[in-house]
Amino acid sequence: MSNNKVIAYFRESAARIDQTMRLDLEAVRDPQLAEVLRYIIFNGGKRIRPQLTVLTWRLAGRGKGSGEEVLRLAMAFEYLHVASLVHDDVIDHSEKRRGKPTAQAAWGLGPAILTGDWLHSRALTLAGQAGGREGVELLGRAITAMVEAEFLQARLATARKSTQADYFKVAAGKTGALIGAACEAGIMLAGGDAKARSEGRSYGEKLGLAFQIVDDLLDYLGDPAKTGKAVGNDLVESKLTLPLLFALERAEVGDRARLKDILAYVPDSRRGCVGEVRNLIESYGGFVLARSKAEELLEAGVLSLAGFPAGPEHELLSGLAAYVLSRDK
């Protein structure tokens, strides 16, 4: 399936998810909370996670659960994703997201944290209403993985020391766990067995890891007008992303020492070294190797779905994998 068809489907489906969330938020009574929620939820985003829940429910045959139940379960994953972004911005003291003020910049730290807490609470409520105990447990495991990955990332950043194994542990927790759970949830609601759920989860986890790697590539190679972020932002934040890790592993002694020196600089000094680091990563094949790893993960993810019947859902999920590799924002 072509990228254009995949994008068109997900754009149309995202509008339906948005409408469902708008209706859900009508029950929020506090006016400031409602205002912050509308701002952070409808501030862009492709709604990939909730759409994966709907798609995998259809892929598994829609054997159980209703259309209304799957939408409620799907919303839980978008709410949890948005909550994680809000709390990430708090942890990172970020003033901007997608070119707009973050919740804490616009309303202050307290309202931002409380809004993230509300989203966590609502996500668990929706998961319980639609998926029962299994739904809550599935979402809870994803939350646990995300929090533990944040702690690991913080320790690694302080130590300025990381390996590829560390990188993938963080990415699996921060990105792969939630996308994998979103895919598994749809199959669970449809009545899929343990094998089918594991296969769906595997697809989602690998999609999430590849998505993160492409984010790493775009941080150095992307167009800020499209990505909404300055080039080299990860370096400024001292993040050892996959392209840089490949370069550190392959660099000659002098270049490796130079890269480590730059990572030890203060943020403003690192910002001035972005071009130099990008050139070093390129010269040691870091970008090519990272992209190759993303391709490998996506191929394995699509193979995880081989046991499901062919059809439009299968084509869309395969097409989404291809789109992740080609995206520019």
Residue-wise DSSP of 2-37: -HHHHHHHHHHHHHHHHHHHHHHHTT---HHHHHHH
Give the tokens for residue 193.
């067995």
Per-residue model confidence (pLDDT) at position 65: 66
The C-alpha angle with vertex 134 and arms to 129 and 136, in degrees rounded to 5, equals: 60
What Å distances lie between residue 296 and 179, 244, 245, 267, CA to CA? 18, 19, 18, 33
Q: Are 79 and 45 in contact (CB under 8 A)?
A: no
Which pLDDT score, from 0 to 100, does residue 121 have?
97
pLDDT of residue 62: 72
Q: What is the DSSP letter of 65?
A: S
Residue 60, SS3 per DSSP: coil
> How far apart (Å, rounded) are the C-alpha atoms in residues 246 and 310?
37
DSSP string, 140-181: HHHHHHHHHHHHHHHHHHHHT---HHHHHHHHIIIIIHHHHH
What does pTM read for this prediction? 0.93
- The pLDDT profile of the chain, 329 residues, written as one tens digit per residue, is 778 889 899 999 999 999 999 999 999 999 999 999 999 999 888 899 999 999 999 999 876 767 889 999 999 999 999 999 999 999 888 898 878 999 999 999 999 999 999 999 999 999 999 999 999 999 999 999 999 999 998 888 777 778 999 999 999 999 999 999 999 999 999 999 999 999 999 999 999 999 999 999 999 998 887 777 788 989 998 889 999 999 999 999 999 999 999 998 999 999 999 999 999 999 999 999 999 999 999 999 999 999 999 999 999 999 999 999 998 87
CATH superfamily of 3-326: Farnesyl Diphosphate Synthase (1.10.600.10)
Handedness of CA 60, 62, 63, 67 (dihedral sign): positive
DSSP string, 96-141: EETTEE-HHHHH-HHHHHHHHHHHHHHHHHHHHHHHHHHHHHHHHH
* pLDDT for residue 161: 76
Domain boundaries, the chain: 3-326
Asked whether the beta carbons of 174 and 150 are under 8 A apart, the reply is: yes
Q: How confident is the model at residue 224, as a pLDDT?
A: 86
Residue 92, pLDDT score: 85
- Take residue 148 and report the two structure tokens written for it: 């533990």
CA proximity to 139, closest of 198, 225, 81: 81
CA angle 271, 103, 220 (to 5 degrees): 25
Interatomic CA distance for residues 262 and 195, integer angstroms = 47
